[in-house]
Structure 1
């Protein structure tokens, strides 16, 4: 922790926001089986790729529960950002400044999202980016320390399907590998849905390989990561 952050004054919150923040769920104990584990699959669209200064512009999330995607339980919002200008990122996520200017108050959007997450573990593609962005934004807004576990589809997929023979595959590569039909990309809600579809495939594969719960999956990922790094 930096000297500045140690002595940084806590942000002043609206009374309602403070009450909601205090009521947020702690990370939950893992379910007894992957089949019964609730996951929240998240995708963020941001103003850029610098996790130290860029901002979250939109959040999309879907729930995996009881072995399927809960289509009636989805989350999506655009965050209001002052002085948001057109940049290269707009060409990718296609969120114009006018939509950002009309978005939801950031503190409310972040609280809404965390209430949606509850105590569930989070899933994303290249999850470290989403994790760092959320950690920083929640800390800046509320001095809130995000402790929820993140699971990375970009790690789990090659671990469970070593026969893929792709070099540094991205989300679109895995979509093609599994033959999924995707109608829209580079939209937070749409990308979260695609990632959730991939995660369902991976969960079934994990069970076939004798991985019975999320704790076992976590250990397998850690071991695979070490082996991969040692092989470099």
Structure 2
């Protein structure tokens, strides 16, 4: 596997359209973008993006007035399992924009800012699927995975045998954050942004998330 730093240099050199060199420049100081995709299924090779949303984070604020939302018209068939999750029907996405017009707008919105997400690898992989064809590159932005931040704050010092729950719901509950309707791309991006800010604050203050004792210590008895 090519190291990410080397891949970034290669992509910068092979970028098809120099108008997108801004992706390789650092974003504004103290800013990041939380984003999420809804898709026709969970196989990035066969499935397509049907909606994508992002919101900017500046310092300790989520700028809901600076958001990106788009419904895309997928080429892949909408899988029944996916429709049950995000509730987007064939009739909803038929009026969406072609993904080839959505991706450039998304890139203009994120710029070179770090990307924040929950299981970000999948969403980034879906965007890269189109980006390789359009520009010959993958997203070069720094990545911030909230489940990793949460794991470090709650389970980083957990003993062997601890029960680990990295679900979206568990993170919301532990951080005492509101649960918006999930599997709506903007709501998911917004909740992910809130997770990031709270986890970053806990880390900066050296505070860990309390957990129940998962493994009982051996009991000793007197003979």
Could you list the runs of 4 or more consecutive aligned residues of structure 1 that deviate by over 4 angstroms after TM superposition? 163-166
Residue 32 of structure 2 is matched in structure 1 by 39
1:47 and 1:168, CA in 2 relative to 1: closer, same or farther beyond 3 A?
Answer: same
- Residues 166 and 84 of structure 1: is their aligned pair in 2 closer, same or farther, counting only changes over 3 Å? same
Give me the whole-angstrom Cα distance separating, in 2, the residues matched to 1:26 and 1:82.
27
TM-score (norm 1): 0.73
| Distance (whole Å) between structure 2 residues aligned to residue 70 and residue 59 of structure 1 | 17
Paired positions, count:
189
**Uncovered stretches (5+) of structure 2, i.e. residues with no partner:** 2-15, 208-223
Asked if 1:190 corresponds to 2:187, the answer is yes
Gaps of 5+ in 1: 2-17, 211-232
Matching residue within 166, 171, 190 for 1:169: 166
The residue number in structure 1 matching 2:119 is: 126
Q: Distance in 2 between matches of 1:43 and 1:30?
A: 19
State the alpha-carbon separation in 1 of the partners of residues 92 and 134 from structure 2.
Answer: 21
Structure-1 separation of matches of 2:199 and 2:76: 41
Is the CA contact (8 Å cut-off) linking 1:40 and 1:122 kept in structure 2? yes
1:56 offset after TM fit, Å?
Answer: 0.9
Q: Does 1:140 align with 2:140?
A: no
> Please, what is the CA RMSD of the aligned residues?
2.5
Relative to its length, the structure with more helix (as a share) is 1
Which is higher, the Rg of structure 1 or of structure 2?
Answer: 2
Report the alpha carbon displacement of residue 86 of structure 1 after superposing the two structures with TM. Answer: 4.6
Q: Which residue is 1:64 aligned to?
A: 57
* Conservation of the 8 A alpha-carbon contact between 1:86 and 1:97: no
1:166 shift after superposition:
5.3
1:28 offset after TM fit, Å? 3.5
